[in-house]
Amino acid sequence: MSRRRLAAVAALTLLSGTALAGTAHAGTSEITVGTCAGYDLPNLGTVDPCVSEPLDALFTGLTEYVPGTSRSRYAVAKSITTKDNRVFQVTLRNGWKFHDGTEVKARNFVEAWNQVASAKTNSSFLFEEIEGYGKRKMSGLKVTGDHTFTITLSRPLGVFVKKLSMLAFSPLPDSILKSPASFRRKPIGNGPFRVVSWSLSSESVVERFDGYPGAKPAVARIVYRTYRDENALYAALRSGDIDFTSLIPSTKLATFKKDLDGRVISRPGHINQVITFPTKVAANTDFRKAISMAIDRETITREVFEGGRVPAHSFVPPTAEGSRSDPCGQVCAYNPTKAREYLAKALASGFRPPAVLPLYYNADSAHGDWVKRVAESVTKTLGGKVKVVPKSLRTFSAFRDAVTGGRLDGMFRAGWQLDYPHIQNVLAPMYASNGVANDGDYRNPRFDALLRSADRQRSSAKAIKLYQQAEALLVRDLPAIPLWVYGQQAGFSERIAKAGLTPTGGLDPMTVKLA
């Protein structure tokens, strides 16, 4: 999955229990959002999907995502300039206020970042390119004035600026910087909404912050109500007790569009699923292409996932900036005739596949059904000349230990959840020679050189073209097989005329229009 959660790719499972009572406030500019119970939240670096939606409403960073897209624009930052993609000069807009009335200054960013980076949370790694990462105060952050500071990276990386819209890069007011424990009780942000009441176990209420200098949301008040049972949450949505949720139970995916009279959002998301080949197992590119074209992605996603996932035509999830609709072409399309042709070509070259080709996964997950279907599809399509057999390891920990230890004698499932919505965040970690998730040990000097060149580009458009050229090499070499992209689903009540999602799939409150 993403960085510290490699290949976990597990859907959120709500605990059984009883939903809180209550109804949405009809006739007002208040909406109620159904979510799940959150964990302890010591600071902005603790990523918890159950509280990410309200926190996103409370904070604004140097940049922000343009609603409904993965593109970024300036927010608190007036400008961010660089001559070399390594040293960045940041100038803040004057007069931006926290909800407690204090001004947002350069030190509020620098000290907050140091706090998150040194806390060893599951977002700390986002700061690892900054010089001095790993120390309590990073040497790469320097306050140069009330509204100016510099960021120095350990190497050129233009896409670093893309990260700055993420929650972990938000500023914190002096009161929380002096007393970090107070963040748990009542987060104080600088975003379009401020906290009225806060509880991770019951409900949190936020209201529009009239002093916000950015675009004003149409909704005046949002209640984030916690549910401990996903079916109770879904029932509350259907009855109108809540107005929105992005937690649609997997058992309802086949019917939720009809259940909600079309008041739904359904789109490909930010998590992809692939099959990875260890280099020693399948060293022949034509053989790997034969395997890929022998997989009936359309049927599997329809019958196993009931439309909750969509076939992948790219190595990059579509929510990432720089993604394209179909760079993979025929290589990622089910084509039995071509699959057999590529297998014949591989055999003619002298390549001999193993008599039995294992496809590994961890048993403590919901991957078994699709792994079985993929194995059946390949075996049948290739006429039994390649016999793919599902093999499970008991736990995710055992599975990952076997993957990273290079002990698997076959293919294995893998996946990636975007840390930030950009093509670079897939290509570099999964396929660069030193990539943190390059479990197939892919090595291509040309690929690495394209990434380095893209990282140095000051023009975002030129950088993306180079990243896309690198992806084209992946299509040619096929070190992994793209399977499908996890879907993002949400539903809303009759009170909402329009709503959009953030790049990670939560409600974007700035997109809500009431009926």
pLDDT average, residue stretch 273-296? 91
pLDDT given for residue 47 in this prediction: 66
pLDDT of residue 26: 46
pLDDT of 438-466, one tens digit each?
999 999 999 999 999 999 999 999 999 99
Beta strands in 125-230 (DSSP E): 141-145, 148-152, 193-197, 203-208, 221-227
Kindly state which CATH superfamily the domain 60-182 is placed in: Dipeptide-binding Protein; Domain 1 (3.90.76.10)
pLDDT for residue 484 = 97
pLDDT, tens digit (0-9, with 9 covering 90-100), for 187-224: 999 999 999 999 888 899 999 999 999 889 999 999 99
H or E element in which residue 298 lies: helix 297-304
Label residue 151 left, alpha or beta by phi (over 0 means left) and psi (-120 to 50 means alpha): beta
CB-based contacts of 467, cutoff 8 Å, min separation 6 = 322, 423, 424, 427, 450, 451, 454
- CATH class for the domain made up of 12-57+191-263+493-515: alpha beta
Judged against a pLDDT cut of 50, whether residue 119 lies above it is answered with yes
Residue 13 has pLDDT above 50, yes or no: no
Q: Residue 355 — pLDDT band, cuts 50, 70, 90?
A: confident
Mean pLDDT of the chain: 90
Distance CA 71, CA 82 (A): 19
The pLDDT of 371-389, averaged and rounded, is: 96
**pLDDT of res. 51:** 79
Q: How confident is the model at residue 5 (pLDDT cuts 50, 70, 90)?
A: very low
pLDDT band at 17 (very low <50, low <70, confident <90, very high): very low
Q: What is the pLDDT of residues 75-89, one digit of tens each?
A: 999 999 999 999 999
pLDDT at residue 15, as a whole number: 34
**Mean pLDDT score, 363-377:** 95
pLDDT attached to residue 130: 97
Q: Provide the 10 A C-beta neighbour count for residue 383.
A: 12
pLDDT score of 426 more than 60: yes
SS3 per residue for 332-394: HCCCHHHHHHHHHHHHHCCCCCCCEEEEEEECCCCCHHHHHHHHHHHHHHCCCCCEEEEEEEC
How large is the average pLDDT for residues 25-54? Answer: 77
Cα–Cα dist 188/176, whole Å = 8
Mean pLDDT of 27-32: 82
Q: Which residue has the higher pLDDT, 227 or 39?
A: 227
Instruction: Indicate if the pLDDT at residue 52 is higher than 90.
Output: no
Phi, psi values for residue 449, rounded to 5°:
-65, -40
The average pLDDT across 55-62 equals 94
User: Is pLDDT above 70 for 23?
Assistant: no
In the CATH hierarchy, which fold is given to the domain comprising 268-488?
Dipeptide-binding Protein; domain 3 (3.10.105)
Q: What percent of the chain has pLDDT over 90?
A: 78
- Kindly indicate the confidence band of residue 53, based on its pLDDT and cuts at 50, 70 and 90: confident
For residue 18, pLDDT beyond 70: no
Q: What's the confidence (pLDDT) of residue 122?
A: 75
Q: How far is 260 from 277, CA to CA, in rounded Å?
A: 42
pTM: 0.89
pLDDT at 12 over 60: no
Mean pLDDT of 463-491: 96
Better-predicted residue by pLDDT, 287 or 67: 287
- What percentage of the chain reaches a pLDDT higher than 70? 93
- By the 10 Å C-beta count (0-12 exposed, 13-18 middle, 19+ buried), 370 is classed as buried
| Cβ neighbour number for residue 260 with a 10 Å cutoff | 19
List the chain domain ranges: 12-57+191-263+493-515, 60-182, 268-488
Residue 188: DSSP 8-state: -
The tens digit of pLDDT for each residue in 286-342 reads: 999 999 999 999 999 999 998 889 999 999 999 999 999 999 999 999 999 999 999
Task: Give residue 152's identity as a one-letter amino acid code.
Answer: T
Please tell me the predicted confidence (pLDDT) of residue 40.
Answer: 64
Model confidence pLDDT, tens digit, residues 160-193:
999 999 999 999 999 999 998 899 889 999 999 9
What does the pLDDT read at residue 28? 66
